[in-house]
Amino acid sequence: MNQNIIEMRSVTKRFGAVTANKGINLSIPANTIHAIVGENGAGKSTIMKILYGFYTADEGEIWIDGARREIKTPHDAIALGLGMVHQHFMLVPPMTVMENIVLGAEPGNAARIDFKQAEERINKLSKDFGFNIDPHKRIEELSVGQQQRVEVLKALYRGARILILDEPTAVLTPQEVEEFFRILRSMREQGKTIIIITHKLSEVLALSDNVTVMRDGQVVGERSTAETNAAELARLMVGRDVLLRVEKNEAKPRGIALAVKNLGYGSKLSDVSFDVRAGEIVGIAGVEGNGQTELIEILAGLRRATGGSATLEGRDISKLSARIVKELGVAHIPEDRHARGLLLEFDLADNTILGTQYRRPPVTTLGLIDEKAVAGKAARLIRDFDVRPPNSALPARALSGGNQQKLIIGREFDLKPKLLLVSQPTRGVDIGAIEFIHRKLVELRDAGAAILLVSAELEEVLSLADRVLVMYQGRIVGEVDPRRVDQEEIGLMMTGGKKR
Q: Is 474 within a domain?
A: yes
The answer on pLDDT for 41 being more than 80 is no
- Over residues 401-440, the pLDDT tens digits come to 778 999 999 999 999 999 999 999 987 677 878 888 999 9
Say yes or no: 202 and 311 in one domain.
Answer: no
pLDDT average, residue stretch 378-397: 91
- What is the percentage of the chain residues whose pLDDT exceeds 70? 97
8 Å CB contact between 316 and 310: yes
pLDDT band at 146 (very low <50, low <70, confident <90, very high): confident
Least Cα distance to 351 among 405, 418, 293, 430 occurs for 405
Q: Look at 58 and 401; give whichever has higher pLDDT.
A: 58
pLDDT band at 364 (very low <50, low <70, confident <90, very high): confident
Provide the domain limits for residue 70.
4-238
The domain boundary residue, chosen from 203, 238, 273: 238
- Over residues 443-454, the pLDDT tens digits come to 999 999 999 999
What is the reported pLDDT for 43?
Answer: 87
Say yes or no: 274 and 358 in one domain.
Answer: yes
Q: In 3-state terms, the chain is what percent helix, strand and coil (to 5)?
A: 35, 25, 40
pLDDT average, residue stretch 53-80: 96
8 Å CB contact between 469 and 282: yes
Which residues are CB-neighbours of 315 under 8 A, at least 6 positions away? 328
Report which DSSP code applies to 292: H
Q: Is 399 within a domain?
A: yes
- Over residues 91-129, the pLDDT tens digits come to 999 999 999 999 888 877 766 778 888 899 999 998 888
Residue 260 maps to which CATH number? 3.40.50.300
Which residues are CB-neighbours of 6 under 8 A, at least 6 positions away? 26, 27, 28, 51, 62, 63, 64, 162, 193
448/96 Cα distance (integer angstroms): 51
Q: Is 250 within a domain?
A: no
What is the reported pLDDT for 2?
Answer: 66
Mean pLDDT across the chain? 91
Q: Is 57 within a domain?
A: yes
The domain boundary residue, chosen from 238, 269, 289: 238
The answer on pLDDT for 1 being more than 60 is no
The answer on pLDDT for 254 being more than 80 is yes
Say yes or no: 202 and 138 in one domain.
Answer: yes
pLDDT average, residue stretch 335-348: 91
Q: Look at 58 and 2; give whichever has higher pLDDT.
A: 58
The answer on pLDDT for 500 being more than 60 is no
Q: Is 244 within a domain?
A: no
93/193 Cα distance (integer angstroms): 29
170/243 Cα distance (integer angstroms): 21
8 Å CB contact between 216 and 42: yes
pLDDT average, residue stretch 473-495: 91
Least Cα distance to 200 among 179, 172, 162, 175 occurs for 172
